[in-house]
Structure 1
Amino acid sequence: MNITDMELNDFLSRNNISEEEFTECPLDWELIQSIGADHQSKIDDLEDLAESYAKTIQRFAKVHSVRWRIKEPEHLMEKIVRKTIKGSGSYNKKYINISVSNYSTKITDLIGIRALHLFKQDCVEIIHLLEERWKKSEKITAYIREGDSKEDYKDRAAWVVKEHKAGYRSIHFVFSTLPHKSKVFTEVQVRTIFEEGWSEIDHKIRYPNFSDNEDIGAFLDIFNRLAGSADEMGSFVKALSTMIEKNEAELKSLEVENAEYQEKVKSLLEKLKQQSQSVEVSELVDDLESEMQNHLYQVLGKAGAEMYSKQDNLSYSNMLMKRVLMGSKIDNF
């Protein structure tokens, strides 16, 4: 629809704004309509910008997928109305003096990009890469739901942590560029795939009519908690997998080192046997080889469960070697 042809009553009806609410808006309809029309005329250029930004972000290692959108002209107009109604939950005084010439500097999400990732902790690296690529226009904001712990962000002193009234969880990074004559702001929301799924369903249910049905709200709240639990489980599974891989790598390394050590000891024992003329020493060397072989089997049998100590193995072998060289008998092993 062409914004200039839009009727006020149709606009109010579609966006669930009463005439009484609109009378509390200090802006006249002609101004709101002009802003919407100006934005509509620039959508093609904004889409080109958004697509280029999205391609850059998609190359970030921790980013699973990227979505982007340009704010629809009518949604922009609806936002301006709600932001200028005093007493409403959305009121923000910075919108009072909005105009066709400055709306693009007051509305920071004309271009909206969502960078989705798998694990909660991935957001830190993604935000770091965003900061390297673009200079942020305002403080990074981490939105959490009521009941979430702020401890996850204790090392992010420069971030602003806020409870989102609707329960959304995401990190918001806003930057500006000057592609043509006017400055354009872009808002990047960094969130997990689970959180994106919940927020999309919540948005589809609530947003069109600003539904405040208690039953719907209760179930969406449960859904929100499940999404948060899924994120926690994802982080736990990743940590568990990392620990198992690390242990397996250490075990393999120890097995290789132990095999190399055993070869060196066998070589030394063979030289000792060849150089010694004593039958007793030769027998002790044979006993030592047998004991070491038995010990190796026992250690490797327990290694998967206990991650045996390399130092203990070396100490044991060294002790046996000393007994051989001193002519002692090997018992009680």
Structure 2
Amino acid sequence: MVPLPPIRLSNALISTTFPSPTALFVGATSGIGESTLKCFVKNAEKPTVYFVGRSEEAGGRIVRELEGLNAGGRYELIKADVGLLGVVDGVCEKIKSKEKKLDLIVLSPGYVTFAGRQETKEGLDALLSLRYYARLRFIQQLLPLHPTRILSILAATNEGSLIEDDLSLIKNYGLANCVNHSATMTSLAFEHLAKEYPETSFVHAFPGIVKTTIYSKGFSWWVALIMTWIVAPLLTPFAVSVEECGERMCFYATSARYPPRKSATSSSEARAAGVARPEGVDVARGKVDGAYLLNWNGEVGEGKCMRGYRERGMGRVVWEHTVGVFEGVEGKTR
């Protein structure tokens, strides 16, 4: 476990490693995403930050709070519902029209629901799209801006078995399958992309049990009541605060503990590796160099299925499937 003191020490040095960084946060208008965003802004020097969310009211509040944390930065809300890949493309085009380089991408959109498959007009399940396809579409579209690190906050180390002939869960949808597929496909895709883009570090992190309001959202009123007043209190002794989670995620997004596949040979590549590791904090070792599947405590791990999938080359299979889905959606919307 990486303790909080070295994490805080590392985060405090972000400004010395990343002068004037440019970052994108998707799903940052509440909860873990918001906490991670604020931790980054608090510790950065003259950051340019784009953050994506559905609520203009929440976005306005966050801009004001970010300006209070760091008056030297530039903060822009991009109001969008990124459950649709076409909307994701619009957000990416807006960023690419303004920036030539993007240092950091942090992805955390999503919600919790027990409802069945809810198909979008693009033919994808809404929850699976937010947890996987939309996030990977952001990555695919923004890799030309050479991000040094990409962090997806989801369910690493909790990978489960895939239904290989139904990766999009058109015929076999269920919440458990959705959770398994989004987690496992993210991990496999990240390991594949780390080989293809060795100057970018790909981090898939599980936040653990966090004290947020997510337990009261996405449910009918009676389920929300049970989740808020029965389930959440039972989980509280095992949960971390949203502030601590944000500090940890900021560390995973910036620390040299999680370097890209390509070793640093210049000052710019050293910057890409991240904030220098505090004493006593070792370099993490992923099963694939440049890709890190992290438990809530910052340690590398994986679900039991991953070894077999890795040996069978499922990373490439999953990525080719993902690109095929993107191309299919593009064909429908032309």
* Normalised-by-shorter TM-score class: under 0.3
Greater relative CO, 1 or 2 (CA 8 Å, sep 6+): 2
So what's the TM-score if we normalise by structure 1? 0.20
TM-score, length-normalised on structure 2?
A: 0.20
Structure having the higher Rg: 1
1 or 2, which has the higher helix percentage? 1
